[in-house]
Amino acid sequence: MERKRVVVTGLGCISPLGNDVHSTWEGLLAGQSGVGPITQFDPSEFKTHFAAEVKGFDPDALLGRRDARRMDRFTQLAVGATREALAHSGLKVDQGNSYRVGAIIGTGIGGIGTLLVEAQKYVERGPRWVSPFMVPMMLPDTAAGQVAIQFGLRGPNLAVVTACASGSNAIGEAAEMIRRGAADAMLAGGSEGSIVAVAVAGFNVMDAISSRNDDPQRASRPFDLNRDGFVIGEGAALLVLESYEHASQRGAQILAEVVGYAATNDAFHITAPAENGVPAAECMRLALENAGLKPSQIDYINAHGTSTQLNDASETAAIKSVFGEDAYDTPISSTKSMTGHLLGAAGALEALVCVKALQDGVMPPTINYEVADPACDLDYIPNQKREATLNYVMSNSFGFGGHNACLVLGQPAGDGLGS
């Protein structure tokens, strides 16, 4: 039986580079950094004083003060990105189709900001001062649930929690739901609002995040020899996915096609990737097999590229294992060099970047790439965007717990694409 095609018809995001797709994409192509001093709490006692924060986001204006106060930041961001994605797609949800439209929204940490605030209330004032909204605000599935409430989506609705692979898994699993006929359209992506004191403290004591306080905008430097950890970021990205038939029948603009997806696990360590990159490589191989493509047909890879010593070296090894000699001719970039690491939302934003790259024929750079690492010797599109004809692109996401996810997206032209 011919496999059902799944296409992308809408994009929405709120990121450290801007509160919509246009400003985020323009910032990426310009090589701008979204990193700066932490403003959401006083970081003076911390090892790291900077992060990639969302700027100028007003949840009260978006949701109204009452509803905004009943949502954690990660949920507020998800609702904002969903609003843009639905408007971009032109998809109308009403009583006639609401059970055929769903949402899968991934997050790595969920409502950790709410949990910290309410835990402090409990310690300082006692149990009666804890908010009755604490539990629904902190649950990882609340973003998906609130998106359903706000936009009337009564179809499949769930959260994916696979650490930094969550956003990619959400998109891949949503596509699979459409393929098996469980929905005609899905809102899929990820959201994270975890620039809070306890999260930064936790990453600091792990030595996972950069402490380059003297030059924060140059701190995220994937694949560079002098990388010293990732930069924590926040934001949300949502894609509208539809079956090709559904999108065509309503005359939607088709932006790209989800042609391949796979997920594996390292089964190695709770935080460190397998050094040889074998399970990540297998994930890429399986995604290519799912897409019916050869490695040589991939024109661009948006790497996980976190700017940690272990990840960047193991991902490079994995790409070489899958692509062989073609690895040296395949352009790769890590947009985390500009956005920081959005944790559970990272893969969703990077899938969105891949759609824009396909649309515009341009690949964003890896900024702050200055000193080559012998263990990372591929073409990382250093410091300047690059134009090219792109037919198929790959997006990698790897998370704590050994979670690996890989998406392959392609141009929407041609009846045989992705079949």
For the chain, which domains are there? Answer: 7-249 (3.40.47.10), 262-410 (3.40.47.10)
Q: Tokens in use for 49?
A: 């004083």
Say how far apart CA 329 and CA 46 lie, in whole Å: 41
Place of tokens 């009564």: 154
Q: Please name which of 167, 239, 222 lies closest in space to residue 365, comparing C-alpha atoms.
A: 222
Report yes or no: 72 and 111 within 8 Å, Cβ to Cβ.
yes
pLDDT-derived band at 83 (thresholds 50, 70, 90) equals: very high
Instruction: List alpha helices for 126-233, DSSP H.
Output: 134-138, 142-151, 166-179, 197-205
Q: Known catalytic residue: 283?
A: no
Q: Which string of DSSP letters, residue by residue, matches 117-146?
A: HHHHHHHHH-GGGS-TTHHHHHSTTHHHHH
* Band of residue 419 on the pLDDT scale cut at 50, 70, 90: very low
Does the pLDDT value for residue 275 go beyond 90? no
**Which one from 13, 88, 164, 246 is the annotated catalytic residue?**
164
In this predicted structure, what is the pLDDT of residue 270?
A: 86
Q: Please state, as a whole number, how many other Cβ atoms lie within 10 Å of the Cβ of residue 401.
A: 17
Q: Which helix (H) or strand (E) holds 261?
A: strand 256-265
Is residue 412 over pLDDT 50?
A: yes
Dump pLDDT digits (tens) for 215-242. 999 999 999 999 999 999 999 999 999 9
Q: What is the pTM (predicted TM-score) of this model?
A: 0.97
Q: What is the pLDDT of residues 366-410, one digit of tens each?
A: 999 999 999 999 999 999 999 999 999 999 999 999 999 999 999
pLDDT digits (tens, 9 = 90+) for 103-136: 999 999 999 999 999 999 999 999 999 999 999 9
**Which amino acid is present at 345?**
A
Identify the band that residue 1 occupies on the pLDDT scale cut at 50, 70 and 90: low
Region at 119 (left for phi over 0; alpha for psi -120 to 50; beta for the rest)? alpha
Q: In what helix (H) or strand (E) does residue 10 lie, and over which residues does it extend?
A: strand 6-14
- Beta pairing, strands 235-243 & 256-265: unpaired
- What distance in Å separates the CA atoms of residue 325 and residue 265, rounded to the nearest whole number? 25
Residue closest to 138 by CA, chosen among 213, 72, 87 = 72
pLDDT of residue 274: 82
φ, ψ of residue 232 to 5 degrees: the values are -70, 135
What strands lie across the sheet with 101-106, from one edge to the other? 157-160, 101-106, 185-192, 235-243, 6-14, 256-265, 403-410, 392-399, 300-302, 332-333
User: How many whole angstroms separate alpha carbon 132 and alpha carbon 383?
Assistant: 48
Q: How many CB atoms lie within 10 A of CB 205?
A: 9
189 has a pLDDT exceeding 60: yes
Among the listed residues 269, 270, 193, the one whose alpha carbon sits nearest the alpha carbon of residue 232: 193
Q: Shortest CA distance to 138 belongs to which of 160, 116, 114?
A: 114
Quote helix, strand, coil % in the chain, to nearest 5.
Answer: 40, 20, 40
Residues near 369 by beta carbon (within 8 Å), at least 6 away in sequence: 221, 222, 223, 224, 337, 380, 382, 383
Q: Which of 324, 288, 308, 330 is nearest to 398 (CA)?
A: 308
Q: Is 246 a catalytic residue?
A: no
Of 49, 88, 304, 403, which residue is the catalytic one?
A: 304
The confidence score (pLDDT) of residue 312 equals: 97
Lookup result for tokens 């970081």: 43
Cβ(390)–Cβ(358) under 8 Å? yes
Q: Taking phi first (over 0 means left), then psi (-120 to 50 degrees means alpha), and beta for anything else, what does residue 337 get?
A: alpha
pLDDT at 314 over 50: yes
The structure tokens 């397998």 sit at 274
* Other Cβ atoms closer than 10 A to 123: 9
pLDDT of residue 414: 55
What pLDDT, in 10s, does the model give residues 21-38?
999 999 999 999 999 999
Among candidate residues 88, 341, 354, 403, the one labeled active-site is 341
In single-letter form, the type of residue at position 162 comes to T
Supply 73's token pair: 């930041």
Determine contact, residues 163/108, Cβ cutoff 8 Å.
Answer: yes
In the chain, % of residues over pLDDT 90? 95
* Residue 164 annotated to the active site: yes
